[in-house]
Amino acid sequence: MAPIKNGRLLFNDVPTGYPEPGKTTVYDESQTIDLDGMPLNGGVLIKILVVSIDPYLRDAMRDPSNKGYSAPFAIGEPISNFGVSVVLRSENAKVKPGDHLFGMYPFQHYAVFPSVDQLLLLKNEENLPWTAYIGVAGIPGQTAWTGWKEYAAPKKDDIVFVTTASGPVGSFVVQLAKLQGLKVIASAGSDEKVAFVKSIGADVVFNYKTTSTSEVLQREGPINIYWDNVGGESLDAALANAANGARFLECGMISQYNAAPYTLKNLMAIVGNSLHVHGVLIMQLLPKYRDEFYREVPGKVARGEIKYIEDAKRGLEWAGHAISDVQRGKNHGKSVIIVNEE
């Protein structure tokens, strides 16, 4: 077979505010690949099926001289994130053509990996769609599961406040809290999202764009557990309405990624209410919980015990738009790109 195009989404320019498709990233089809003739040198040739679009990608889109919590993307190279691939050819005894692998992939159609040590073989006995493995049964679900288990320390009658509660992490947290019978206050950014969060069982759900977080928490709190994906004003309201000894699980601060830093007015509540604030970093927590997660969660999802929604776009050329949408909260459900059909 003749070489075919290997479309890639390249990092093109460090954004100052929100990332812009076509400027921050460009879709490039100049590279070609010979799927049959490409030498593998003991490695594997994979076709990437799905990749995940997450808020934290913004962190890697920075000038490498600035500090961040993930490796910065290199200008001119494909951006990368978690995805699922299928093996086309293999010279590695551990995997065979047709196997599905979860891992960190460059945003392109095909790739040769010299080793599969960093990739996880997915058996998918529950027959979930592959996109589930980058959402509810992937890093977002694992973030919720491990963070909650490690830091939430839920007690009877605790009140939980979850932000971005229709997102893949937040909606999972809402359901974990409800499985434990706790009262859940949840915020989301549109009426459609609010409806979804209500449907998964949250007790008090509001659109933070039209309703004051601070007023809701004053009425429905004080809160014992705060799951923060937002930072800024929402964090400030949570600080002001935290119960003594409350646990704050800091998973992200998306309100701060594309704007000037917010000035917190209630930071002294950390001292005054003896709060416990923990940064939730999935890659550090995962080894402790990985086996348990893959043993329990795909089944729960298949049986409908954990619900999720997806916002899927077909075609890698739309990934730049999806990245921008996620930063602006325009997606509804876990944002994924379907790069290739099986």
- Which parts of this chain interact with its own copies (CB under 8 A)? 59, 67-69, 231, 240, 244-245, 250-253, 256, 261-265, 267-281, 284
Cα→Cα distances 285→85, 125, 288, Å: 24, 25, 6
**Given the complex with its own copies, which of 85 and 164 has the nearer CB atom?**
164
**Given the complex with its own copies, which of 94 and 276 has the nearer CB atom?**
276
| Contacts (Cβ under 8 Å, ≥6 apart) of 170 | 144, 162, 163, 164, 186, 188, 197, 227, 229
- CB 174 to its own copies: min, Å: 20
**Given the complex with its own copies, which of 68 and 299 has the nearer CB atom?**
68
**Given the complex with its own copies, which of 6 and 234 has the nearer CB atom?**
234
User: Residue type at 329?
Assistant: G
DSSP E strand boundaries for 91-198? 100-106, 110-113, 120-122, 159-162, 183-188
- CB 167 to its own copies: min, Å: 15
- CB 275 to its own copies: min, Å: 5
Q: Is the dihedral of CA 238, 265, 55, 82 positive or negative?
A: negative
Q: Under a CB-based contact definition with an 8 Å cutoff, are residues 336 and 318 in contact?
A: no
**Given the complex with its own copies, which of 233 and 296 has the nearer CB atom?**
233
**Given the complex with its own copies, which of 61 and 269 has the nearer CB atom?**
269
Gyration radius of the chain over CA positions:
21
**Given the complex with its own copies, which of 112 and 281 has the nearer CB atom?**
281
- One DSSP character per residue, 238-269 reads HHHTEEEEEEEEE---GGGTTSPPP--S-TTH
- CB 331 to its own copies: min, Å: 20
DSSP E strand boundaries for the chain? 4-5, 8-11, 25-28, 32-33, 44-52, 80-90, 100-106, 110-113, 120-122, 159-162, 183-188, 204-207, 223-228, 242-250, 276-279, 310-314, 334-338
Cα→Cα distances 9→45, 102, 188, 228, Å: 19, 19, 30, 30
Q: List the one residue out of 255, 210, 249 whose CA is nearest residue 228.
A: 249
**Given the complex with its own copies, which of 255 and 324 has the nearer CB atom?**
255
- CB 308 to its own copies: min, Å: 23
- CB 280 to its own copies: min, Å: 7
**Given the complex with its own copies, which of 216 and 306 has the nearer CB atom?**
216
Place of tokens 């799951």: 227
- CB 253 to its own copies: min, Å: 6
| 3-state SS class at 128 | coil
- CB 235 to its own copies: min, Å: 8
Q: In angstroms, rounded to a whole number, what is the distance separating the alpha carbons of residues 246 and 285?
A: 21
- CB 239 to its own copies: min, Å: 11
Buried b / exposed e over 11-30, threshold 16 CB at 10 Å, is bbeebeeebebeebbbbbee
Place of tokens 């089944």: 299
